[in-house]
Structure 1
Amino acid sequence: MYVSVSDQLAAALHERHQLSLSEFDALVNMPSESVRINELKERMLLSQSAVSRLVDRLEKRGLLEKVPCEDDLRGVEVALTTAGRRLRSKAIRTNAEVVDEHFASPLTADQLAALGEAFTEIKRQKKLGA
């Protein structure tokens, strides 16, 4: 199911926004304020070098900008640009539409409730360390 929905999402993000799944992941994991690249890496499932290359691509597209780090004169942080925020909002809506169409819509309200309960229990068990 994950692969199927991911494939549909990848296609929709590329078609509608010219974004890859990794680029979308970076945009949605950007906080409202600037962040160091290694902090962004911690939010994603990519290596440091992959995140650096991704940031470079998004910067070239005008979606992210590099800003000097106030705490470290040699350091650099990245921040969403206005265009990046706008595209992120549109892409989040696309994500919701795809997940709804290819995952949630085929299920009944009772099935969705049961799934929600199962996910809640899994999350609770993880917190308990079980």
Structure 2
Amino acid sequence: MSEVVNGETSLAQRWCALQLLHDRIASDVEKVLQPRHGISVREFSLLEVLERQHDGEGGHLKMQELARSVALSQSATTRLVSRLEERGLLTRYICPTDRRGIYTEVTDKGRALLERARPSNQESLNHALDALADEEEFASLVQALRS
């Protein structure tokens, strides 16, 4: 990663390192979540965001808010929500005050899966970060994540 200008790596290089760090961590976490809990990193993230960043009572978000929160397009979020809904982990319903809005919320089955998967997610995150902290190009990013 070593194009150094005036003693500093370029912003573009740091951005690439951040993307690579994300991809490597996601890959490592996926290898744990999928076999143990039958859930992908994206699915876990969506359920986690939905459960923790809900809109008031009831633990729900509008689809467009959810898409923004998980950094996916609205169509990709809709497909992901549909898969989770088919598995009984989420439910969707029309907003009672705005018939154009669709809310999504985690079901009891989804909350139970999250509770079982959270320790595995945390363990695999820590393991991935420990491994990456020893690599020079990622050390400062890992440190920033952990602080």
Which ranges in structure 1 are unaligned for 5 or more consecutive residues?
Answer: 108-113, 124-130
What pairs up with 1:58-73 in 2 under 5 angstroms? 58-73=84-99
For residue 47 of structure 1, the aligned residue among 49, 70, 73 is 73
User: Which stretches in structure 2 are left out of the alignment for 5+ residues?
Assistant: 1-20, 134-138
Matched, 1:19 2:55: no
Aligned-pair identity in percent equals 32
Shift of 1:106: 8.7
How far off is 1:71 after superposition?
1.4
TM-score by length of 2: 0.67
Residue 27 of structure 1, CA deviation: 0.7
Describe the SS at the equivalent of 1:79.
strand
CA RMSD, aligned part only?
2.8
**Aligned-pair distance for 1:13?**
1.0
| Aligned-partner Cα distance in 1 for 2:110–2:68 | 20
Q: Among 88, 94, 116, which residue is 2:114 paired with?
A: 88
Provide TM-score, normalisation by structure 1.
0.75
Three-state SS of the structure 1 residue aligned to 2:71 is: coil
Give the distance between the partners of 1:41 and 1:73, measured in 2 at CA: 19
Corresponding residue for 1:3? 23
